[in-house]
Amino acid sequence: TTTLAHRLGLAPSSVSGHLSALRGAGLLTSRRYGHQVLYERTPLGMALASGGV
């Protein structure tokens, strides 16, 4: 979240809120990797991003 916020020039809290909403909508999954949280699009998220739905 912090890395993504830095890349986008946004507050980490804003990015966290958006990621939570996307995860809640079933568009992302998240998993811990050490101290990091990694996010990945679900098949639905990939289809929506590509315009396939």
Alpha-carbon distance of 18 to 12, in angstroms, equals 10
Fold of 2-50: Arc Repressor Mutant, subunit A (1.10.10)
Q: Digits of tens for pLDDT over the chain (53 positions)? A: 899 999 999 999 999 999 999 999 999 999 999 999 999 999 999 999 998 76
2 exposure class (CB count in 10 Å sphere: 0-12, 13-18, 19+): exposed
Residues 6+ apart with CB under 8 A from 32: 38
pLDDT at 21: 97
pTM score over 0.85? no
pLDDT at 52: 74
Tokens 């939570």 appear where?
20
For residue 6, give the amino acid letter.
Answer: H
